[in-house]
A = this chain, B = another copy of it.
Amino acid sequence: MTETVPRPTLEAVAARAGVSRATVSRVVNGADGVREPLAERVRRAVEELGYVPNQAARSLVTKRHDAIAVVVAEPETRVFADPFFARQLRGISKELTAHDNQLVLLLTEGRDDHARVARYLAGGHVDGALVFSLHLDDPLPELIQRAGVPTVFGGRPDWSGGKNGVVYVDSDNRGGARDAVRHLLGLGRSRVAHITGALDQTSAVDRLDGFRDVMVDADPRLVVEGDFTPAAGERAMRELLDRCPGLDAVFAANDLTAAGALRVLREHGRRVPDDVAVVGFDDMLPIAEQTDPPLTTVRQDIEEMGRLMARLLLRGLDRTADAPENVGGTPSSVILPTTLVRRASA
Contacts and interface: CB of A to CB of B under 8 A. Distances in A.
A107 B105 contact: yes
A9 interface: no
Copies in the complex: 2
A81 B119 CA distance: 30
Contact of A67 (B59, B67, B120): B120
A123 B57 CA distance: 9
Interface in A102-145: 102-109, 113, 116-117, 119-120, 122-125, 145
> 10 closest Cβ contacts across the A-B interface?
A56-B124, A80-B86, A105-B105, A55-B123, A125-B125, A103-B107, A97-B109, A102-B120, A76-B93, A56-B60
B104 A120 contact: yes
A57 to B, nearest CB: 6
A55 B97 contact: no
B1 A146 contact: yes
B104 A116 contact: no
Interface string A13-57: 000000000100000000000000000000000000000001111
A270 to B, nearest CB: 25
A83 B77 CA distance: 11
Contacts of A66: 116, 119
A117 B90 contact: no
20 contacts: A22-B22, A55-B122, A56-B60, A56-B123, A59-B123, A59-B124, A60-B60, A65-B123, A66-B116, A80-B89, A80-B90, A93-B108, A97-B113, A102-B106, A102-B113, A103-B107, A104-B106, A104-B125, A105-B105, A105-B106
Contacts of A22: 22
A235 interface: no
Interface residue SS majority, chain A: helix
A119 B89 contact: no
A125 B93 contact: no
Contacts of A76: 89-90, 93, 103
A107 B22 CA distance: 36
A89 B102 contact: no
Given A60-B60, A67-B125, A93 B119 contact: no
Interface in A66-104: 66-67, 76-77, 80-81, 83, 86, 89-90, 93-94, 97, 100, 102-104
A274 interface: no
Given A54-B124, A90-B76, A106 B107 contact: no
Interface in A224-278: none
A280 to B, nearest CB: 21
Contact of A60 (B57, B81, B93, B97): B57
A209 B250 CA distance: 54
A102 B116 contact: yes
A116 B120 CA distance: 20
Nearest to A105: B105
Contacts of A77: 90
